[in-house]
Amino acid sequence: MARSPERMPLTIDWIVRAVGGTLLAGRGAAAAAGVSIDSRTIRRGQLYIAIRGERFDGADFAADAVARGAMGALMPRGRGAALIGRATDGSPAAIVEVDDTTTGLQALARQVRLESGARVVAITGSAGKTTTKEVIAQFLETKYRVIRNRGNLNNHIGLPLSLLELTERPDVAVVELGMNHAGEIRTLVGIAEPDVRVWTNVGEAHLGFFDSVDAIADAKAEILEGGGPRSVLVANADDDRIVTRTKTFAGRMVTFGIERAADVRAEVVSDRGLDGFTARVATSRGAADIATALVGRANLANVLAATAVALEFDVPLPAIVERAAALRPAPHRGEIVRLADGATVIDDSYNANPTATRRALDLLVSARADRRMAVLGEMLELGAESERLHREVGRAAAAARIDRLFTVGGNAARAMAEAAVADGMPAESVRYFAASDEAGAAIVPLVRRGDVVLVKGSRGIRTDAVVERLKAERA
């Protein structure tokens, strides 16, 4: 059963011990009403943590944070003396110095996580982490008080900020672990110390920072580190790179899958295209028919992973079925937008990599439509393999026999368009644009009733602007 909420106090003395810091000024018994790293949005009573970033030094804004109501600040050594004075409420400003404020934030979050009594579910994968996180959280919320990291707060700073919400003493935290370099997952696992680890898939995302997809898999495999006999790993049985790397996991493994035998398996799948899917799912707790409006085979795998996690937390299978039926995609993550004039947009513009883009094309092909169009933005962070991978996606678009292809971005996006034409798409059906606003202006007059338009691309390309233009001008 869920525990009653009882906020965990963050006294300055406790914080000093947690971060290995030195109290330069202020009262050790004073308690912070949370923490913030942004002086512009800090709330009264919070502790300001002065993070040094690539383009700014948070210590330069500490005085402003205190003036705006912060009860004190966590500062790098040698920078705290300038803040000694009084906070806006008349009490002495608490000034704590540490060797490194980012490490201090991480240490504070780890200690909060350990003392909160909450269980932690941590998710990694090349695609679908956020959707999997949201589905897991919604399944667990049928029985528990749950927090999850907001948006993409999943890196070495975002994850600790999310874990600090455990001061509210929820039962479970569901967090995603992001990375684009080796060693980053190791750091995040060390902070979160997850009870349940979820590894969804391996793909080409961030290939520009790695020598190969196998190297990406090795970096993702850092989620296995530090596991003990009581740790649980929920792993994708259909992904060979995951299967070969999980054999030495020290804890207990639970698998999910579609193609292969698994502890949670979709045995009979009915793809309803843009209306989602239904599947007969076999589990150790029995079988059930699960239906959801989430679209695409990748989301079926995400739901299976979430089902496996929920069963580990003793969520009844009927409750999972009921909640699955209410699931809806997050904005720009496979969202189905029905325009008032009868056209439909598959808005998957939040991000893109080659594997996910090919899956999105499969979804487009499965949709009932008079015409099928795709707006595909450049897929960033692919390094030396970028042009080859974009050409592969262009060939996939040609093989899918879609009616129109618009590519957006730099030379790699141009190569994607060229490959589609070279593989048989009529040249007049393929257009390249350097920017999303140009693509939006071109496609809006072309869309008509009965068309389905897929929009997908890396965030930096801003293909979401195409969606917003379609919604504004074709409503």
Question: What is the Cα–Cα distance from 107 to 101, expressed in whole angstroms?
Answer: 10
In this structure, the strands spanning 172-176 and 430-433 are unpaired
DSSP 336-357: EEE-TTS-EEEEETT---HHHH
Local structure of residue 247 (DSSP, 8 states): T
Please check whether residue 36 is in contact with residue 58, taking contact to mean a CB–CB distance below 8 angstroms: no
Q: Over its length of 475 residues, how does the chain's per-residue pLDDT go in tens digits?
A: 445 567 888 999 999 999 999 999 999 999 999 999 999 999 999 999 999 988 899 999 999 999 999 999 999 999 998 888 766 666 789 999 999 999 999 999 999 999 999 999 999 998 889 899 999 999 999 999 999 987 667 899 999 999 999 999 999 999 999 888 899 999 999 999 999 999 999 988 777 788 898 999 999 999 999 999 999 999 999 999 999 999 989 999 999 999 999 999 999 999 888 999 999 999 999 999 999 999 988 899 999 999 999 999 999 999 999 999 999 988 898 999 999 889 999 999 998 999 889 989 999 998 999 999 999 999 998 988 999 999 999 999 999 999 999 999 999 999 999 999 999 999 999 999 999 999 999 999 999 999 999 999 999 999 999 999 999 886 6
Model pTM score = 0.90
Please name which of 319, 287, 359 lies closest in space to residue 131, comparing C-alpha atoms.
359
Length of the chain: 475
Task: Give one DSSP letter per residue of 291-340, joined into a string.
Answer: EES--SHHHHHHHHHHHHHHHHTT--HHHHHHHHHT--PPTTSSEEEE-T
For residue 22, the cross-strand partners are 97
Distance in angstroms (rounded) separating the CA atoms of residues 469 and 466: 5
Alpha carbon distance 324, 322 (integer Å): 6
Report all structural domains of the chain as residue ranges with CATH numbers, in order of start: 10-98 (3.40.1390.10), 117-325 (3.40.1190.10), 335-473 (3.90.190.20)
Structure-token match 């076999």, residue found: 282
> Tokens at residue 54, please?
């690539």
